[in-house]
Amino acid sequence: MTDTMLSTPDGVGADYYRIGAPVADTQAPAGPIAGKWTQRKFDASLVNPANRRKLSVIIVGTGLAGASAGATLGEAGYHVKSFCFQDTPRRAHSIAAQGGINAAKNYKEDGDSIYRLFYDTVKGGDYRSRETNVYRLAEVSANIIDQCVAQGVPFAREYGGLLDNRSFGGVQVSRTFYARGQTGQQLLIGAYQALERQIAAGTVEMFTRHEMLELIVEDGRARGIIARDLVTGEIETHLADAVVLASGGYGNVFFLSTNAMGSNVTANWRAHRKGAYFANPCYTQIHPTCIPVSGDHQSKLTLMSESLRNDGRIWVPKRKEDCEKDPRQIPEEDRDYYLERIYPAFGNLVPRDIASRQAKYMCDDGRGVGPMVGDFRRGVYLDFADAIARLGRPAVEAKYGNLFDMYARITGENPYETPMRIYPAVHYTMGGLWVDYDLSSNIPGLFVTGEANFSDHGANRLGASALMQGLADGYFVLPNTIRNYLAKGPYPKLDADSPAVAEARANVEERTQRLLAINGQRSVDSFHKELGHIMWEYCGMERTETGLMKAIDLIRSLRAEFWRNVRVLGSADTLNQSLEKAGRVADFLELGELMCIDALHRRESCGGHFRAESQTEDGEALRHDDQFLYVAAWEYAGGSGEGEMGNPVLHKEDLVYEAIELKQRSYK
Amino acid sequence: MNLTLKIWRQDGPKARGELVTYQVADISPDMSFLEMLDVLNERLNAEGKEPVAFDSDCREGICGMCGLMISGEAHGPEKTTTCQLHMRSFKDGETITIEPWRADAFPIIRDLVVDRSAFDRIIQAGGFISVNTGSAPDAEAILVPKPNADRAFVAAECIGCGACVAACPNASGMLFMGAKVTHLGELPQGQPERAMRVQAMVATHDGAGFGGCTNIGECSHACPKGIPLDVISTLNADLRKAKSGRF
Ligand SMILES: Cc1cc2nc3c(=O)[nH]c(=O)nc-3n(C[C@H](O)[C@H](O)[C@H](O)COP(=O)(O)OP(=O)(O)OC[C@H]3O[C@@H](n4cnc5c(N)ncnc54)[C@H](O)[C@@H]3O)c2cc1C
Ligand code: SF4
Ligand code: FES
């Protein structure tokens, strides 16, 4: 499958990766973009209702993407096995989403349309997403809202009883549906209830506190998983006609992120090691308005809604000497409202990546505020004094009260009196397993949905569109595309002791035993934190060639040390949270390297990926469409043991823009 | 801060448990309660002792995974989840007792981790609106008066943490169940199944080992989301009407 190429134009690549055959086909139907989805649904084979019971699907994950798919396939009559590592499906990380969900309903008659949502998403993704998938996302978005309302999701309403919308993330139309600051929670509860209804009906079998640790591939097809029962420690084999990964994003490779503590890459990474391509792993979204790190003990970061930037003004002191002062004592003329200064047209509302990077520059320049963490102050002010003077405190309270309370609870400071401090944090990963138009990976029978795949957000995701994607995939897209695959089944019965199963089981058992046997000096968390520091420093908001090469070296030696020196206590046959974490961190230690290699090879800046070598004269991101207008789909190249990786193989999927014209972003 | 912790340790569902005393030093008031336990666990690991098992995931107060009895109070002294509790709520030198939720319906799995799957079974019994994917009418076809939408929302905020059960002297799950009955019952979409829902949920609740409600109100007091006690009134009213066929 691979042609080895000795070097990329700049000569760096040869040491790190090889170039393989391009991705030939994304399986999208021919014809105009607006007709493709209808065509595909029509072309997909049907499965006789009486046969559906005999066809089984494993779904890993019960977030928006997994719970919606599980409920829908269960309702259709397939036999579904659903897995999550939490104690109930309702706790998946989707629950934490605050802001809202987009849909092209045009209820406000403000000129919204499927095409506009499609256009905004492609542009927001900095022209690095696949047109056909994004168009379909916009197309099915309206149905999502209908489905959720029918389930009883309590979206915000106006006095007339109609649904309310807001504008979100800098777009000019109001297309975001929301449920106070708890949209993710309410949408997930809706999907969870639909899933529980199918569990009661017997179509869905639920496995909570179970973790998928291996994918079973037989005869080139995905046929099942190996999972560990996290309570008893038992290693279980689950077989099916198809496997769906809806296992979420991998932002926790940075240790600190806004993701839930348990969010991890293991399901995806294990599939990658079995041959599934990992696409654009370096595309990471760093969100500008998070509560800063308060010390070394920090276990996670908390996001505050982006809506705060609508009324808050962001600044740092002009002089380093003022950074320790009480901000209220710093007079107006000594403050630098840097976003308003640099981007007079958009001011504090510039896109997430720009706001984040500028905050970093200010702190790197020694003008950060708040406590010293290490030898740095990592924070900038988000000041509501003007808004309170202009609108009055009650109005500010009505709009942002819950966010101010959250801030006060976490920091112990009163944001009505002193300006808040914010700092960027890792929030979302646009990269993920490569999928085609049907959401199928390159391994037949393995489908990937939600944040776990790469398909819709290009190099940067717009606010309120991850919830939309998760539910679009699970309620409307996957059930139609997987049907075409299942219609060719049932696939030959697989024996529980066939070589493919035995090999996968042995892998899991050996790895577990090995982790417990090392009995070294360092805790799992200490490795995870160190990896996080490396990733944040060299593969975070700004990336350089030398930095990335250094990071790869550091990660390789850290990974080697992990397998020599980690200490995991306890046994394999009980609830053992250190063991769970150890397996996840071991996979992050491999993923981190791939992310750096991907970032190194992409010598352009696009969306959340900023390569310092590729910027305009005034310091803005510079894309190179002539060289990089493609999806980087990486094939795992093996290695002889745990923790060893060969040079991955790059398969390029050229991006073809037919409906939208390519442009450079500009916010000046 | 320096603290004395008395933590419930129990190796497995059938093992005997006991309170074990640990000292922790140099705790920052800015740490969250669970970060303080992380610090303890790092130290235990370094000493070759197994870390304390406890549940958490979002650490933002929304997933409902965390939940500890802290010196006798569910989620501790503030009206919030355990993960959103910070050490500044405690005094230097204080002794803190940390136990799992205690209720027959929530058996202990290990240390501070309990099995709350009985809540899922209550939802399976009827905590949903039966609408298959693809069969929904346009969202604006269903008008919901704002007062109903608002009350449904307040009830829908329940995170399924189980503090209400842990705080209740009867270990009753009525607040949790009342929240769901109220959420769906306030909405036009929830009407067709209203009678069936409440009866099936209550039957499952009673069979799962939860106790009855005697209107003490500890549940609502302990609830991190402030689910009001009147959802139980709604539940009781619905149950009465369902039994007498008045829906
Ligand atoms: C704080 C925050 C706020 C956000 N706000 C918004 C917003 O306002 N609007 C928006 O559109 N997006 C928002 N997002 C992004 C959005 O919430 C997520 O991208 C989306 O919910 C992901 O859904 P998912 O179903 O793909 O995965 P998840 O919800 O992450 O679910 C993953 C599931 O996989 C399971 N799992 C994972 N690995 C395994 C394994 N190995 N074995 C078994 N089970 C496994 C987990 O148990 C879980 O059930 C926000 C994200 C964060 C962090
Ligand atoms: S009612 Fe309150 S205390 Fe009970 S489960 Fe729901 S959120 Fe937790
Ligand atoms: S960990 Fe999610 S609510 Fe506490």
**A248 CA to middle of ligand 1, Å?**
5
pLDDT of residue A10: 53
What are the start-end ranges of the H helices in B63-145?
117-126
Distance B190 CA to ligand 1 centre (A): 27
Q: Which residues of B touch A299 (CB under 8 A)?
A: 32, 34-35, 38, 59
Distance in Å, CA A299 to ligand 3 centroid: 13
A629 three-state secondary structure = coil
Residues A306-329 have a mean pLDDT of 93
Q: Is B134 within 8 Å of A150 when comparing Cβ atoms?
A: no
Q: Looking at domain B3-109, which of 1.10.10.10, 3.10.20.30, 2.30.30.180, 3.40.50.720 is its CATH number?
A: 3.10.20.30
Q: Provide the pLDDT for residue A104.
A: 96
Is the predicted pLDDT of residue A217 greater than 90, yes or no? Answer: yes
Q: Strand, coil or helix: what is A87?
A: coil
For residue A474, the 8-state DSSP code is I
- Is the CB of B100 inside a 6 Å radius of any atom of ligand 2? no
Contact predicate B32/B59, CB 8 Å = yes
Quick check: B132 and A525 CB within 8 A?
A: no
Atom 6 in ligand 2: residue holding the nearest Cα: B158
Q: Is the pLDDT assigned to residue A664 strictly greater than 70?
A: yes
The Cα A658–Cα A4 span in angstroms is 31
- Nearest 5°: phi and psi at B83? -70, -20
pLDDT of residue A4: 37
Domain range holding A396? 287-426
Q: Which residues of chain A does B50 touch, with a Cβ-Cβ cutoff of 8 Å? A: 569-570, 578
If one residue of A81, A284, A291, A467 were mutated to test the ligand 1 pocket, choosing by the most ligand atoms within 8 A of its CB, it would be A467
Confidence class of residue A12 from pLDDT cuts 50, 70 and 90? Answer: low
Asked if residue A407 is part of any domain, the answer here is yes
With pLDDT > 90 as the criterion, what percentage of chain A qualifies?
A: 87
A81: helix, strand or coil:
strand
**Which one, of A279, A245, A272, lies nearest residue A445 by Cα?**
A245
Question: Who among B120, B133, B190 is closest to A88 (CB)?
Answer: B120
From the CA of A287, which ligand is nearest? Answer: 1
User: Can you tell me the distance from the alpha carbon of A554 to that of A609, in angstroms, rounded to the nearest whole number?
Assistant: 21
Nearest Cα neighbor of A562 from A525, A535, A513, A508 is: A525
| Three-class DSSP labels, A255-282 | CCCCCCCCCCCHHHHHHHHCCCCEECCC
Amino acid identity, residue A433?
L
**Alpha-carbon gap, residue A303 to A96, rounded angstroms:** 10
Task: Classify residue A638 as exposed, middle or buried by CB count within 10 Å of its CB (0-12, 13-18, 19+).
Answer: exposed
Q: What is the pLDDT of residues A96-152, one digit of tens each?
A: 998 899 999 999 999 999 999 999 999 999 999 999 999 999 999 999 999 999 999
pLDDT band at A641 (very low <50, low <70, confident <90, very high): low
3-state secondary structure A456-473: CCCCCCCCCCHHHHHHHH
Count of CB atoms within 10 A of residue A484's CB? 17
Rounded average pLDDT over A329-345 = 95
Do the domain assignments include residue A401?
Answer: yes
Does the beta carbon of A24 lie under 8 angstroms from any beta carbon of chain B? no
**Rounded Cα gap, residues A650 and A628, in angstroms:** 13
Position A354 in a domain? yes
Whether pLDDT at A326 is above 70: yes
Distances A668 to A168, A341, A618, A665 between C-alpha atoms, Å: 20, 10, 10, 10
CB A470 within 8 A of CB A429: no
Angle at A465 between CA A449 and CA A293, to 5 degrees: 95
**Cα A130 to Cα A566: distance, rounded to the nearest angstrom:** 41
Confidence tier at A640 by pLDDT (50, 70, 90): low
Tens place of pLDDT for every residue, chain B, 247 residues? 999 999 999 999 999 999 999 999 999 999 999 999 999 999 999 999 999 999 999 999 999 999 999 999 999 999 999 999 999 999 999 999 999 999 999 999 999 999 999 999 999 999 999 999 999 999 999 899 999 999 999 999 999 999 999 999 999 999 999 999 999 999 999 999 999 999 999 999 999 999 999 999 999 999 999 999 999 999 999 999 999 988 8
Place of tokens 């720009």: A354
Task: Please name which of B75, B73, B77 lies closest in space to residue B91, comparing C-alpha atoms.
Answer: B77
Q: What are phi and psi of A178, to 5 degrees?
A: -150, 160
Does some domain include residue A87?
Answer: no
Spell out the long-range contacts of B63-66 with Cβ–Cβ below 8 A and sequence spacing 24 or more.
Answer: B63/A86, B63/A91, B63/A93, B63/A95, B63/A96, B63/A260, B63/B159, B64/A90, B64/A91, B64/B159, B64/B160, B64/B161, B64/B162, B65/A86, B65/A87, B65/A91, B65/B161, B66/B34, B66/B161
Kindly state whether residue A325 falls inside one of the protein's structural domains.
Answer: yes
Omega before residue A648 within 30° of 0, cis: no
Rounded Cα distance, A164 and A180, in Å = 11
* Alpha-carbon distance B67 to nearest alpha carbon in chain A (angstroms): 13
pTM listed for this prediction = 0.97
Q: What pLDDT band is residue A376 in, cutting at 50, 70 and 90?
A: confident
Question: How many domains in chain A?
Answer: 2
CATH of B116-243, picked from 3.40.50.720, 1.10.1040.10, 1.10.1060.10, 1.10.1200.10, is 1.10.1060.10
Residues in chain B: 247
Tell me the CATH number at A623.
1.20.58.100
For chain A, give the mean pLDDT: 94
Residues 6 or more apart whose Cβ sits within 8 Å of residue A334: A317, A318, A319, A322
Contacts of B137 (CB under 8 A, 6+ apart): A146, A150
Same domain for A540 and A418: no
Chain A touched by B192 (CB under 8 Å): no
Point out the least confidently predicted range of A158-167, A386-395, A430-439, B54-63.
Answer: A158-167
The residues of A annotated with a catalytic role in the active site are 352
Cβ atoms of residues A590 and A559 within 8 Å = yes
Query: DSSP 3-state assignment of B202?
Result: helix
Cβ–Cβ under 8 Å, residues A239 and A613: no
Pocket mutation for ligand 2, best pick of B58, B161, B168 (most atoms within 8 Å of C-beta)? B161
- Domain spans of chain B, in order of start: 3-109, 116-243
Distance, in Å, from the CA atom of B105 to the CA atom of B171, rounded to the nearest integer, reads 8
The string of pLDDT tens digits covering residues B162-202 is 999 999 999 999 999 999 999 999 999 999 999 999 999 99
Model confidence at A3: pLDDT above 70: no
Q: Is A522 part of a structural domain of the chain?
A: yes
Can you give the pLDDT at residue A665?
A: 78
Determine the atom of ligand 3 nearest the C-alpha atom of B59.
1
Whether residue A537 contacts residue A547, with contact meaning beta carbons closer than 8 Å, is answered with: yes
Instruction: Supply angle C-alpha A143, A148, A153, rounded to 5.
Output: 155
Q: Which of A451, A454, A452, A447 is nearest to A477 (CA)?
A: A447
CATH number for the domain spanning A319: value is 3.90.700.10
**Is A94 domain-assigned?**
no
Residue A383 lies in a domain: yes
pLDDT at position A7, please? 40
Task: Kindly state if the Cβ of B158 falls inside 6 Å of ligand 2.
Answer: yes
Residue B163 has which token pair? 């503090």
